[in-house]
Amino acid sequence: MTESNSISSNLRLSQLGSAGAILNFTSPAKKILVSDSMRFFPASVGYGRLDYLIELIPSKCGGKIIPDENYMVSNSGIQSVLDVLKTLNSTIDQTPPLEGPRRFGNMAFRTWHNKLRTISEKLVLDSFKNNILVSGSEIELGVYLASAFGSLQRLDYGTGHELAFLAFLGGLYFLKMIGEPTGEDWLLMFSQYLKLIQRLIITYNLEPAGSHGVWGLDDHFHLPYLLGSAQFLDFSNPSSEPKPLSSAPLLKSTLDPKAIQKYAAENLYFNCLQFIRQVKRGPFHEHSPMLFDVSAVMSWFKVYRGMRKMYIAEVLGKFPVVQHFLFGSVLFPWRDLENNKDLPILGIDEQEDNLTSDEIRLRELNAEHSKRFSGSTRSAISGLSSSASTVKAPAHDSQIVTKAPWAK
C-alpha cells in the first residue's frame, strides 16, 4: 500500500463507529463480475482496508503464541467472537453427515450452511448486544460471517471464504466492537476459526475451492501461514524490518513430525502442517512441494515477506477468488480510495445461487480448460521472485526438483 493510499485509507477507517456517525449499511453484493474489473479493485476502499488488515494483524502477532484455555481475553468483544464460533461448532453436532461414500462433499453440509445463513444476522446482534453495535451493521457483518464457511452450492472451502472471515473480523475492528485486540486475541480468534473449518472439512468432506493442486501452497488456507510465520518475528522496531526470534525453530523443522506436534498448539503455521499430515498420505514433498521448498528458506522473515506477497498476488490479485467477495456500503465499499466515488461495475451478475449444480460444474471445467492454455499456475506463483532455488527431495524418496517462489 503506497503512503498516500495508507493515509487516505486510515482517514476513512477512523470515521467508522465515531460518536454520532450515521452509517447507511447495505447488504454486500458482488461488484467484480468480469475479469476486467480487477483493474479497479486495488483502487477501492475495500481493497485498501483488506490490505491494511494483512499488514496490521501479523505485526500484532509477532512474538506471540496461541494462548491456551486459561487465557483471559482483553475485552468482551473478543469473547463474543469466540462465542459465535462456539455456537457454529455446536450446529455441526446437530447436523451429522449423511451416510454412504461421497466423492464431492457430503450434502449435509448444505443443511448446515442453510442454518448458518438463516441465523447469521441474529447471531451477530445477540452476540454483540453488550458491545458498541452500530445500528444496522449486522446487515454487512452477518453476510461476511455467512460467507466465511465454504460454498453451499459447490461444497468446497478456500481462500475466498477465509478472506470473508478476515472481513468479518476487520469490520468488527473498524467499528470498535472488539476494541484493540492484542496479538494473543487475534491468534485466539483465528485459531478457533481454523479449528472449526478443519472440522467442517473432515466432517463434510469439503473440496478445495480453486486449488492449484500440488502446485499451490495449501488446498484450503493461506492466512494461517502468513500469521504463523509472523509469530516467529520481532516487530518491536517499526523503523526496520522484523527480526527472527532467537527462540524460533529452524525452518527445516517444518518437515519434522515431532516438531510439528510440538508447535502446532501454539503456532498457526505448524497447525496447518499438522492438518495436512492428518488428511494427506504419501511423501510430503510430493503432495505439498511448495511448503517443502519453503523449509529450505533460511529466514522466517523471508518466509513472512513471501507469504504476504503471495497473498496479495494469489488471493487479492486473482479473479477466481475475489469475484466472490461481497462489497457493502460502509465496511468494504466499492468506492475509489482517493475520491470516494463509486467505481464502475462491469458485466452482468450471474446470480450464482440460481445456477444448477451441472451449470456450476460446467463453468468450472471451462475455467480449468482456459487456465491450462493460458500459462501454468506454477509459473505464475514462481514469478513472485526474480529467481528461485532448487531443493532436492529427501534421499529416501524419488529425486524431484521443485521451486520455492521467494527463495533467492
Question: What stretch of H or E contains 243?
Answer: strand 243-244
> Cell numbers at residue 38, please?
480487477
pTM comes to: 0.84
pLDDT for 212 equals: 60
> Cα dist. 79→128, 136, 236, 237 in Å?
9, 21, 27, 30
> Cα dist. 38→15, 78, 313 in Å?
27, 34, 12
Degrees, nearest 5: CA angle 29-35-41: 60
pLDDT for 395 equals: 40
Residue 361 lies inside a defined structural domain of this protein: no
pLDDT bucket at 352, cuts 50 / 70 / 90 = very low
DSSP 274: H
Question: In whole angstroms, what is the distance from residue 294 CA to residue 228 CA?
Answer: 13
pLDDT for 33 equals: 96
**Does residue 396 carry a pLDDT above 80?**
no
pLDDT for 321 equals: 94
Contacts of 353 (CB under 8 A, 6+ apart): 153
DSSP states of 11-80: HHHHHTT-TT--------EE---SGGGGGTGGGBHHHHHHHHHHHHHHHHHTT-----TT---SSHHHHH
Helix ranges (H only) for 107-182 are 108-127, 138-146, 159-174
The answer to whether 164 and 58 are in contact (CB under 8 A) is no
**Does residue 378 carry a pLDDT above 50?**
no
**Does residue 392 carry a pLDDT above 90?**
no
Q: Count Cβ atoms below 10 Å from residue 21 Cβ, excluding itself.
A: 11
pLDDT bucket at 373, cuts 50 / 70 / 90 = very low
pLDDT for 405 equals: 42
The answer to whether 374 and 70 are in contact (CB under 8 A) is no
Q: Which residue has the higher pLDDT, 366 or 254?
A: 254
**Does residue 2 carry a pLDDT above 50?**
no
Q: Which residue has the higher pLDDT, 286 or 15?
A: 286
pLDDT for 325 equals: 97
Residue 28 lies inside a defined structural domain of this protein: yes
Question: In whole angstroms, what is the distance from residue 147 CA to residue 351 CA?
Answer: 15
Residue 359 lies inside a defined structural domain of this protein: no
Write out pLDDT tens, residues 103-157.
Answer: 778 999 999 999 999 999 999 999 998 887 888 999 999 999 999 999 999 999 9
Q: Which of 20-34, 75-89, 129-143 has the highest mean pLDDT?
A: 75-89
pLDDT for 214 equals: 55
Q: Which of 7-16, 228-237, 322-331, 338-347 has the lowest mean pLDDT?
A: 7-16
Residue 360 lies inside a defined structural domain of this protein: no
> Cα dist. 139→84, 120, 125, 143, 349 in Å?
16, 9, 10, 7, 21
> Across-strand partners of 243?
234
Provide, rounded to the nearest whole percent, the portion of the chain with pLDDT above 70. Answer: 78
Write out pLDDT tens, residues 276-333.
Answer: 999 999 999 999 999 999 999 989 999 999 999 999 999 999 999 999 999 999 999 9
Q: Which residue has the higher pLDDT, 74 or 103?
A: 74
pLDDT for 291 equals: 95
Give the residue numbers spanning the domain of 261. 3-348+375-403
Question: In whole angstroms, what is the distance from residue 194 CA to residue 75 CA?
Answer: 21
Q: What's the mean pLDDT when you consider all of the chain? A: 84
pLDDT for 11 equals: 40
Residue 340 lies inside a defined structural domain of this protein: yes
Residue 408 lies inside a defined structural domain of this protein: no
Domain count, the chain: 1
Residue 160 lies inside a defined structural domain of this protein: yes
Residue 370 lies inside a defined structural domain of this protein: no
> Across-strand partners of 208?
157
> Cell numbers at residue 380, please?
505464475
Following CA atoms 250, 254, 260, 264 in sequence, which dihedral angle do they give, to the nearest 10 degrees?
Answer: 90
Provide, rounded to the nearest whole percent, the portion of the chain with pLDDT above 90. Answer: 70
CA neighbours closer than 13 Å in the CB half-sphere of residue 85:
23
